[in-house]
Amino acid sequence: MSTPIARRSWRSALAIYLRAPVITMLFLGFSAGLPFLLVFSTLSAWLRSDGVEVAAIGFFSWIGILYSIKFFWAPIVDRLALPVLTRRFGQRRGWMLLAQAMIAAGLIGLASLDPNQNLMLVAAFALLVAFGSATQDIAIDAFRIESAPDDIQAAMASTYIIGYRGGLLAAGAGALYVASWISWEAAYLTMAALVGIGVITVLIRPEPERLSLTTQLIHEPRVRAFIRASRGQPRHLRRLGAWLIGAVVCPFTDFLSRHRLKALWLLVFVAVFRISDLAMASMANPLYIDLGFSLATIANVTNVFGIAMSISGGILGGLLVARYGIGPILVLGAAAATLTNLLFAALALAGQSLPMLVMAIVGDNLANGLASAVFIAFLSSLTSRAYTATQYALFSSLMTLPGKFLSGFGGLVVAAEGYATFFVIATALGLPAIALAIWISRDQELVPRPSAPAA
């Protein structure tokens, strides 16, 4: 017989959003979202407006690969102590400050260049910004998970989403406005100044409590076994080997040993949870254009309704998880994110219908905001506090790669079968995620419950 779920009152659930760790993620989310567009669409707009060839601009999209392979250097962010910064600010805050310094330096460097004369340097500084941004993401995710218990992770995720959207708006519309009023140099210098929001947040908030690296290594059986087996070897080689085992090997073996036979299915679930909406994303804008909607209409609807619904969905997801727990809301999020793709199939069949366009945008963004909040909370609950940066970086990379890969074939499916069939296929891709979410929601070892009883 299963244990009854302790539920929070609605007042208690809402009060979570007033906690300092939750509010902190609003500003760190802004800091994470700010650099993203500055090396993608905003940078592309600058390059094209200055006369750079479209073919050359296309290669800049490869910079985004850094975000998908950040798990390669996540063990370093997780375990390597930085000179001065780690001792003064702690492991997480030290790495965030270093990453923010890289972002600011890259943006200032970009502001100082003429793209037509220094395109290779533009690429180099853009890479620096992207690397700093991906590194900051690793550190922020670890900081978030270690700063609060599992039952408020969804609320932290929802405020993070709000802040992230704010960063995207600043780097997108904000940078374009400054560039049109003054210059591109002023736009990128302004964005560099806004990095200070994240810096101030890091300086104000305390470092999460965690065991020291030495203590963590001592408690690792694999590290102890290596140290015993390597007696007689040079000391520096033994220390390097112990560090590599603790930083690279143990995060993966820890996950496998904790979940055993369930580990593979959990990884499959992580890979397929977002596959439906990511696979269809590449064909959404082409659908709007082919139906005859103007660019202004698309921009207005996606910005006004899309952003508002995404933020609302994130807040709703955090609130529902706080009251009912991760399990049932994980099923709701998987179902909503998958089934709302049918709205795009309906739009394709309806033709140029503004109400249908609004309905599709509202439904899709509300569902994805809710699903993102609960899924971030779920991934956080899977992550060991001893290996937060490495394990979460692996999960977040695995979450996006399959969908992004399949998204590349979207145009072929549309050309052969049409938009409506494509979006129905995208919906079908999400059905395994719903089934796995139902299975996970019934496993009390995998889904944490709210800790406070109803008032």
Residue closest to 202 by CA, chosen among 76, 68, 104:
104
Q: What is the pLDDT of residue 455?
A: 42
pLDDT confidence tier of residue 335, bands split at 50, 70 and 90: very high
Q: What is the pLDDT of residue 5?
A: 45
pLDDT above 60: residue 3: no
From 216-230, 412-426, 430-444, the region with the lowest mean pLDDT: 216-230
pLDDT above 70: residue 9: no
Candidate ranges 144-153, 292-301, 364-373; pick with highest mean pLDDT: 364-373
Candidate ranges 222-226, 293-297, 302-306, 395-399; pick with highest mean pLDDT: 395-399
Average pLDDT score over the chain? 82
Give the span between the Cα atoms of 30 and 160, in whole angstroms.
8
Give the span between the Cα atoms of 191 and 429, in whole angstroms.
38
Q: Which residue has the higher pLDDT, 454 or 326?
A: 326
pLDDT tens-digit readout, 242-281: 667 766 777 777 788 888 888 888 989 988 888 888 777 7
pLDDT above 80: residue 167: yes
Q: What is the pLDDT of residue 453?
A: 47
pLDDT confidence tier of residue 214, bands split at 50, 70 and 90: low
From 143-157, 183-197, 440-454, the region with the lowest mean pLDDT: 440-454
Length of the chain: 455
pLDDT confidence tier of residue 200, bands split at 50, 70 and 90: very high
Q: What is the CA radius of gyration of the chain?
A: 23
Give the span between the Cα atoms of 304 and 117, in whole angstroms.
38
Tell me what the mean pLDDT of segment 420-447 comes to.
Answer: 88
Residue closest to 306 by CA, chosen among 286, 331, 326, 284:
284
pLDDT confidence tier of residue 223, bands split at 50, 70 and 90: low
SS (H, E, C) 141-163: HHHHHHHCCHHHHHHHHHHHHHH
All structural domains of the chain:
11-210 (1.20.1250.20), 260-442 (1.20.1250.20)
Residue closest to 316 by CA, chosen among 297, 300, 332, 302:
332
- Cα–Cα distance list, 35 to 77, 126, 192 (Å): 19, 10, 9
pTM over 0.85: no
Q: What is the pLDDT of residue 54?
A: 62
Please enumerate, as own/partner, the contacts of 58-63 that have beta carbons within 8 Å and a separation of 24 or more.
59/123, 60/123, 60/126, 63/39, 63/123, 63/126, 63/127, 63/130
Q: What is the pLDDT of residue 454?
A: 42
Q: What is the pLDDT of residue 339?
A: 93
Helix, strand, coil: what percent of the chain each, to 5? 80, 0, 20
Q: What's the sign of the alpha-carbon dihedral 109, 111, 114, 119?
A: positive
Give the span between the Cα atoms of 293 and 355, in whole angstroms.
12
Residues 6+ apart with CB under 8 A from 241: 226, 230
SS (H, E, C) 209-233: CCCCHHHHHHCCHHHHHHHHHCCCC
Q: Are 264 and 272 in contact (CB under 8 A)?
A: no
Q: What is the pLDDT of residue 4?
A: 43
Residue closest to 271 by CA, chosen among 436, 399, 440, 427:
399
Give the span between the Cα atoms of 229 and 243, in whole angstroms.
15
Residue closest to 143 by CA, chosen among 215, 205, 70, 219:
205
Query: In the 8-state DSSP scheme, what is residue 305?
Result: I
Within 13 A of 332's CA, how many CA atoms are on the CB side? 18
Residue closest to 143 by CA, chosen among 75, 220, 77:
77
- Three-state SS at 29: helix
Tell me what the mean pLDDT of segment 443-450 comes to.
Answer: 68
- Cα–Cα distance list, 316 to 22, 157, 161, 192, 333 (Å): 14, 11, 12, 32, 11
pLDDT above 70: residue 7: no
Candidate ranges 100-114, 364-378, 380-394, 431-445; pick with highest mean pLDDT: 100-114
Tell me what the mean pLDDT of segment 423-436 comes to.
Answer: 92
Q: What is the pLDDT of residue 449?
A: 57
Give the span between the Cα atoms of 105 and 277, in whole angstroms.
35
Q: What percent of the chain has pLDDT over 70?
A: 85
Give the span between the Cα atoms of 325 and 446, in whole angstroms.
11
pLDDT tens-digit readout, 380-421: 888 877 777 788 888 887 887 787 777 767 778 888 888 899
Q: Are 66 and 95 in contact (CB under 8 A)?
A: no
Q: Which residue has the higher pLDDT, 190 or 169?
A: 190
